[in-house]
Every structure is written in C-alpha cells, then in structure tokens.
Chains A and B, each alone.
Chain A
Amino acid sequence: NAGVTQTPKFQVLKTGQSMTLQCAQDMNHNSMYWYRQDPGMGLRLIYYSASEGTTDKGEVPNGYNVSRLNKREFSLRLESAAPSQTSVYFCASSDRTEKLFFGSGTQLSVL
C-alpha cells in the first residue's frame, strides 16, 4: 500500500534551471493536487486535477505547469526556477469525501 509517492525528496536548483516533480497514487482517486508549504503560510494550492485529462489553477499557479499523465500520475514542472519557489512541495490525492492523502514531500531549494 504505497499511497501517494513523490520524487525526488530533495532538490537543489540554480535560478533559471528547470525540473519536474513526479507524483503517483495507487488508490484509484480521481482528484490530485499540488501544494506548496512555506513557514507561516500554511499549505497553498498550486494546481489541481479533478479527473484524468483536466487541470485547473489553484491559489498560486504562476511559474508552474502541470500534467495529468493518466489517472495515477500528476507531475509539476518548474520551467525557470526562481528563489521564491524555494519551498516544500506536497502532492495529494483525494477520495470522494475530499479526504486528502499526501505524499511525503519534496524539499526544493533554488539558489
């Protein structure tokens, strides 16, 4: 029972570099999410996908793109990383009651 799996766990980038955060869930959930968590700010929604083939912007989408590759996988891409994107990123999926199941997070530092 893996639940939600995120990779990588840690990443350091230089300003302007690009990278993709990978996320996969094995619970057959329709909805998947990407959040960022910053000290004193709580969890903020970047993008979400209500079902395979659909994606929508959340509260803080600027500088990010997403792909819902299939029902299991939802990736987050930073095309040109900026120091303001230094954060901890969480992928999550939800069941029909909107209960969220989170991955273990990716700690990203942009220098």
Chain B
Amino acid sequence: KNQVEQSPQSLIILEGKNCTLQCNYTVSPFSNLRWYKQDTGRGPVSLTIMTFSENTKSNGRYTATLDADTKQSSLHITASQLSDSASYICVVTYGNNRLAFGKGNQVVVIP
C-alpha cells in the first residue's frame, strides 16, 4: 500500500477558478511535508514545506495546510492560471530523513 495517497488523481478546472488537492500519509515519525510542482517535461520544483507545528503556509496563490493529527495535507490554488497546469507531488520526510512520494495530482487549467 502506498504510504502517501493523493487525490484526485487528475482534474480539469476553468481559468480563474479555485481548486484543492489532497494528500494523506501514513508514515511516521513525521518530519516535514513538501509540495512540489512538476511542469510537463521538467523536474519537480518545491512549492512549500510544512513542519509539524505549522497549520497553514502560503506561497503566492498556493496555500498549503497540514493536520499532523489526522496525517492530512491540502494544497489550495486560488484564481488558477494556465501556468498552473502541472502535476503536484506530495513528499513526506519521515524517520531518518527518508522520503515517501505521492503519485501526484495532475491539474489541467483550461481557458
């Protein structure tokens, strides 16, 4: 069973609309959680990091939340733009600096 589950697997949204991506994890002990954005044909790039004590963190139009008790994180995209079309990957650091990857949320923004 995958240790990091992301949902939805894919979604299509209209430009200007908001969307929320979910990440649930089971690994422990938790260290931090990062969201990466991967544009087509490129390597992933870190968007934000969430540590145990942080509930919410924003990076421009991206807002990440973390509930360490329920082991859930979300990434909210506000007023989506065409350039937000990408795969968003949730990565959890746990234990002795081990990494667990989700399979990604594929987002397509259409005009």
Contact = CB atoms under 8 A, between A and B. Distances in A.
B103 A100 contact: no
Contact of B42 (A40, A42, A43, A104): A104
Contacts of B27: none
A90 interface: yes
Interface in B19-41: 31-32, 34, 36, 41
Contact of A102 (B44, B97, B99): B44
Contact of A105 (B43, B89, B103): B43
Label chain B's interface by main secondary structure: strand
B93 interface: yes
Interface residues of B, number: 20
B101 A42 contact: yes
A41 interface: yes
Interface of A: 4, 40-45, 90, 92, 97-105
30 contacts: A4-B43, A40-B103, A42-B102, A42-B103, A43-B44, A43-B89, A43-B101, A44-B101, A90-B43, A97-B32, A97-B49, A98-B31, A98-B32, A98-B93, A98-B97, A98-B99, A99-B34, A99-B46, A100-B34, A100-B36, A100-B46, A100-B91, A100-B99, A101-B46, A103-B43, A104-B42, A104-B43, A105-B41, A105-B42, A105-B43
Interface of B: 31-32, 34, 36, 41-46, 49, 89, 91, 93, 97, 99, 101-104
